[in-house]
Structure 1
Amino acid sequence: MNDLFLFNNSFQDSFEINTDLFDTNIINLSIVLFVVIRFLGEALSDTLENRKQTIIDSLQNSNKKVYIVKNKLVEVKSKLELTQTEVENVYSSRFSYFKTRKQTLLEQVQSYLTQLQSLQKDSIEGQTKKVLSDVYDTTISKTFDTLYINLASAFKKSGNFSNKKKAITYSYLKRLN
């Protein structure tokens, strides 16, 4: 074995492995590793377990929130459908109401137009009757005036003019009223 080393013998003699020290180092290292693994392993295991539990709790909490949100979504969808149904009902009832109201208003307008036409016809007939009455009154009045003048001139020629004039005037006034 000495041939393998390129060192001379004096160095080899001075360099020796102390196996007692090596055994002690191995024992110390195993104790340290045991203590480290024992205490740090437990702490690491506890930390990992806590982290695992935190993650599980977060997932469960998230699942609960998802469940709540899904329930709220279903509730909102049902309310939306109910609201849409109500809106459609209100729309159809309002449409029906306005259609009926329109028909009623058209009938009222037609009635008013009929009344206006009747009133116009009555007004024209009334005005026609008034004009005819005025023409009749004027004609009768002029006729009586002419008759009075003719009678007056005829009675002037005769002797009893003043008594006959009073009788004719009285008769004329009576007919006018």
Structure 2
Amino acid sequence: MKNVTDSFLSVSYWSSAGSFGFNTDIFATNPINLSVVLGVLIFFGKGVLNDLLDNRKQRILKTIRNSEELRGRSLEQLEKARSHLRKVEIEADQFRVNGYSEIEREKLNLINSTYKTLEQLENYKNDTIRFEQQRAINQVRQRVFQQALQGALGTLNSCLNNELHLRTISTNIGVFGTMKEIAD
């Protein structure tokens, strides 16, 4: 620091020799120097500072505009996504309702077809039972008829003599002759 002060003192020594010089009195020269420096800075720095502030302002405005545009596009995409979601939910509900109704319809069709099949099987069972009953009845009738016929033949053979035999034949021939006349 002493070197700086010495250089000012030596300059002040030379200043008395000419018209130019430094005043080393800090209290007298500081407000004037500061006002000159501030004036020069304000005069020349005002444009630079205004340019810097304008550039900064433009960048901030551009960033805000870009942010607003991005926000707008994001809101549009959000609304499209919500709309698409509502559409998909509606379709899912329709598929769900249609699926349930289709399941119910298939269930009813299956129940109805099962009832029809059971009814057909019941009818088939009843027809089979009736057929088997009829067949059993017919077998019993045939056996009864055969036994009755054998019993009648046995009785006839034991009771039948030639005269009774001829009379039965002639009576039957008369019955057949009458039936033939009626048929003609």
Normalised to the residue count of structure 1, the TM-score between the two structures is 0.59
Q: 2:25 aligns with which of 7, 15, 24?
A: 15
Q: Find the counterpart in structure 1 of residue 161 from structure 2.
A: none
Give the equivalent residue in structure 2 for 1:114. 126
Aligned match of 1:87 in 86, 93, 99? Answer: 99
Partner of 1:36: 48
Alpha-carbon distance change, 14 to 51 in structure 1, aligned in 2, over 3 angstroms: closer
Q: 1:32 to 1:126 in 2, by over 3 A?
A: farther
Partner of 1:48: 60
Report the Cα offset of residue 22 of structure 1: 3.2
Cα distance, 1:117 vs. partner?
0.6
Aligned with 2:79 (options 45, 64, 67): 67
1:36: Cα distance to partner? 3.5
2:114 alignment partner, one of 102, 106, 109: 102
Taking a change above 3 Å as real, the CA distance of residues 14 and 50 of structure 1, as seen in their structure-2 partners, is: closer
Runs of 5+ consecutive residues of structure 2 not aligned to the other structure: 1-22, 159-184
- The runs of 5 or more residues in structure 1 that have no matched partner are 1-12, 148-177
Shifted more, 38-47 versus 131-140: the winner is 131-140
Give the 3 Å change call, closer, same or farther, for CA 65–119 of structure 1 in structure 2: same
**TM-score, normalization: structure 2?**
0.57
- Percent identical among aligned pairs is 8
Greater relative CO, 1 or 2 (CA 8 Å, sep 6+): 1
RMSD over aligned CA atoms reads: 3.2
Residue deviations 1:119-167, cap 9 Å, x none?
Answer: 32133234435655776798899x7xxx9xxxxxxxxxxxxxxxxxxxx
Tell me the number of residue pairs that the alignment of Structure 1 and Structure 2 aligns.
Answer: 132
Higher mean C-alpha deviation, range 90-99 or range 122-131: 122-131
AA aligned to 1:57 is E
Deviations 1:16-73 (A, max 9, x none): 3436543431123213541332111011001101110111011101110121012112
1:98 CA displacement: 2.1
1:10 corresponds to which residue? none
Q: By how many angstroms is 1:76 displaced?
A: 1.8
Q: Secondary structure at the match of 2:47?
A: helix
Q: Which amino acid aligns with 2:53?
A: G
In the TM superposition, what is the alpha-carbon distance from 1:99 to its structure 2 partner? Answer: 2.7
Q: Aligned partners of 1:28, 1:134: CA distance in 2, in Å?
A: 153
